[in-house]
Amino acid sequence: MLNKYARAFFTRVLTPFAAFLLRRGVSPDTVTLIGTAGVVAGALVFFPRGEFFWGTIVITLFVFSDLVDGNMARQAGTSSPWGAFLDSTLDRVADGAIFGGFALWYAGKGDDNVLCAVAIFCLASGQVVSYTKARGESIGLPVAVNGLVERAERLVISLVAAGLAGLHAFGVPGVQVLLPIALWIVAAGSAVTLGQRVVTVRRESAEAQAKAAASGGSGTAT
């Protein structure tokens, strides 16, 4: 959902910066690696200590690398299966670090086992949602569905809520409840999205089998 509109907008905004990096001899893969390292560091250094505001700021600065590296590859004409594989793989690492950071907070000083479990579910379900699409496409299916809560939605909902919740440290009252609410929303939305993708793959698989059977039958008719 957000992917469709936000990615196009930020791609246009970040195109000059991508061109600047290319002129300086920076490769898209380098941007991918640095961006992921920054996200992981921001999530696992700040979030387990409850420093959600600064953690979100650091993560946000690096998360745009996901748009910059692809933009650079297209401008340079170096888009490749390897680049797409690296980008997708490191996206999963970054997502795991973010929700892992939340889980560590609630398992520690946050002292809430239920929310720790919800954060772990967000981590796991996000990985499985991505896997279902990749696995479906690997067996030749289009997996043509826009899920309710995909990666962009998971990141925006959780990071905006975390950043606002972090304002509690600056004396803003009541905002700390935003992160638990966001985690429940992401968990429920991810479960729905997983269901959407599973149903879509089942339908597309049945249609492909029916088409193959019909094609085989017509080939043997006299």
Q: What letter represents residue 163's amino acid? A: G
Q: How far apart are CA 50 and CA 134, in angstroms?
A: 34
Nearest to 63 by CA among 29, 98, 28, 89: 98
- Location of structure tokens 């797409």: 84
- Location of structure tokens 């909902």: 157
Q: Which residues are catalytic?
A: 91
Q: Tally helices (H) and strands (E) across the chain.
A: 8, 0
Are 14 and 71 within 8 A, CB to CB? yes
